[in-house]
Amino acid sequence: MKKGKIAMTITIGIACFALVTVMMMQFKVVNETDITAIEDMQESELKTELANWKTRYEEIDAQYQEVTQRIEEYKNDEQSNNEASQLVQEELEQTNTLLGLTDVHGEGIVITLKSGEDITAISADDLLIIVNALKFAGAEAISINDERIVNTTDIVNILDGSFIKVNGQRILEPYVIKVIGNQSHMESAVTGNGGKVDELQTLGHTVTIEKDNDITIGKYNREIETKYIE
């Protein structure tokens, strides 16, 4: 009787131990799979990400080829005692285009905004958000009331929003935003559900969008000075 009891206790003990061990192992596996699941992006997201990196690689590669070729051209000029002036002028023009120091033209859209009556006027933030959305959609040149948007352009409210300054220049309504880029991309960047233009229209402001196959945007007409960057 006593012997049987001891044997039973031991058997039950072993069984319990085995069960608990199996459970522990299982818990561990579940924990681990959860971690990787969090780290995982969804497949469709991964595909977009891959396409993105492919494009980035191709762009940087093309740029590398261009720079390498240009180095060769400088070297050839040197060897044949040619003047490098044409090469330098080409490079300078490219730089000036990026700085916004050249007049440019191309297809795009013109957005005209006018504040509605008896409601809070269109603010600098609204314009900032529109410009940001246009850039995100691939805008190549933008101006607001003929003030060219360059990479050091600020759009701010002055005197609690009684007027707006772009590039330090006061601008008045109606606000005319000219943008060069793919017309349908530009339009869908600001319209549609959640687009800033739709939001402004719902609030009661007047916004019109016109497509134009040849918009001209004037250059940034100030000296660009740097004092602090080296």
Partner 1 sequence: MPNKKLISIILGVMCFALTLGIVIQVRTIQNTNSTIGQNQEANELRDEILRYKERYDNRFKELEEAEKKLEKEREEATQNDSELEQAQQKITEGNKLTGMTEVTGPGVIITLSDGTGISTSTLNPSQLIVHDIDVLSVVNELINAGAEAISINDQRWVLTTAISCRGNTIDINGERIGAPFVIKAIGLPEYLAGLERVGGYLEYMKRDGVGVTLEKSNSITIPKYSGVINFKYLQNVEE
Under rule CB under 8 A, which residues in 190-209 are in contact with partner 1? none
Shortest Å distance, C-beta 213 to partner 1 = 10
Is position 109 an interface residue for partner 1 (rule: CB under 8 A)? no
Q: Of 33 and 202, which CB lies nearer to partner 1 in the complex structure?
A: 33
Is position 170 an interface residue for partner 1 (rule: CB under 8 A)? no
Instruction: Report the b/e string of 168-186 with b at 16+ CB within 10 A.
Output: eeebeeebbbbbbbbbeeb
Residue from 10, 154, 184, 188 binding partner 1 (CB under 8 A): 154
- CB within 8 Å of 62: residues ≥ 6 apart: none
Considering only residues 47-76, where is the footprint of partner 1 by CB under 8 A? 47, 49-50, 52-54, 56-57, 59-64, 67-68, 70-71, 74-75
Size, binding site for partner 1 by CB under 8 A: 91
Is position 93 an interface residue for partner 1 (rule: CB under 8 A)? yes
Own/partner pairs for 221-229, CB < 8 Å, 24+ apart? 221/148, 222/167, 224/99, 224/101, 224/150, 224/152
DSSP line for 103-172: -EEEEEEEEEEEPPTTSPPP-HHHHHHHHHHHHHTT-SEEEETTEE--TT--EEEETTTTEEEETTEEE-
Residue from 2, 3, 33, 80 binding partner 1 (CB under 8 A): 33
Is position 17 an interface residue for partner 1 (rule: CB under 8 A)? no
Q: Is 210 helix (H, G, I), strand (E, B) or coil?
A: strand
Binding part of the chain for partner 1, among 110-118, 136-144, 170-178, 202-210 by CB under 8 A, reads 136-144
Is position 146 an interface residue for partner 1 (rule: CB under 8 A)? no
